């Protein structure tokens, strides 16, 4: 069980959100004794503020794969706190892992399209990897620039505008599931061989 049910009384701010509507709330649950909690209700929508507290991690991962907004609200508002997570480290590790996974995805897609009939030299393989890595970095950089520009333009009037680091972390986490395309390719190749 995560200890994310209380707020910092000294600051007087609430960092928790209702996963249904996004309304700020003070506490997620009240713990009466170990293993005996009561989930709090949202003051705006009157639903349980965060039902993911009682769920297993695998249910959260499945909902993240399905891109459910409730799961992302739980992950970014109610699970990560500035006191417990080193945000900078998490951000850069996530970006590096995302770029490596995206590079792997592009590499698998490109090797399945062409057949290596003759032995490949190290220099040509290195050149091919460099081209793919450059394409992955520039493609993702262009995507991020467009998203940041659109976010700044369309959400600047919003009272709740987040910084570029938070937006980058959300984009990286929501894009991790592109790696499942690799598993889908293997599945479809098996189907083609069976038919």
For the chain, the structural domain boundaries read: 16-79, 87-194
Cα(160)–Cα(155) distance, integer angstroms: 8
Q: Supply the pLDDT for residue 12.
A: 41
Q: Supply the pLDDT for residue 156.
A: 63
Query: pTM of the prediction?
Result: 0.61
Distance of CA 150 to the CA centre of its chain: 19
Reported for 23-32, long-range contacts at CB under 8 A and 24+ positions apart, including other chains, are 25/49, 28/4, 28/53, 28/78, 29/5, 29/53, 30/5, 31/5
Please determine, for residue 194, whether its predicted confidence score (pLDDT) is greater than 60: yes
Query: Tens digit of pLDDT for each residue in 95-125?
Result: 888 888 788 778 777 776 565 555 667 887 7
φ, ψ of residue 17 in degrees (nearest 5): -135, 155
Query: Tens digit of pLDDT for each residue in 68-96?
Result: 888 888 888 888 765 666 777 877 888 88
């Amino acid at each position: 069980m995560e200890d994310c049910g209380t707020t910092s009384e000294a600051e007087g701010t609430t960092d928790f959100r209702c996963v249904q509507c996004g309304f700020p709330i003070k506490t997620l649950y009240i713990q009466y004794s170990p293993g005996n909690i009561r989930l709090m209700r949202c003051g705006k929508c009157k639903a349980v503020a965060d039902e993911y507290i009682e769920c297993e991690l695998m249910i959260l991962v499945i909902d993240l794969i399905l891109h459910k907004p409730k799961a992302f609200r739980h992950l970014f508002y109610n699970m990560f706190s500035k006191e417990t997570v080193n945000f900078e480290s998490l951000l850069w590790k996530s970006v590096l892992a995302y770029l490596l996974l995206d590079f792997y995805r592009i590499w698998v897609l490109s090797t399945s399209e062409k057949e290596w009939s003759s032995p490949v030299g190290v220099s040509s393989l290195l050149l091919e990897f460099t081209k793919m890595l450059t394409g992955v970095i520039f493609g993702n950089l262009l995507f991020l620039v467009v998203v940041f520009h659109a976010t700044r333009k369309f959400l600047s009037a919003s009272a709740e505008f987040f910084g570029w680091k938070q937006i980058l972390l959300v984009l990286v986490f929501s894009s991790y599931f592109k790696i499942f395309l690799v598993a889908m390719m293997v599945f479809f190749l098996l189907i083609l061989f069976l038919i």
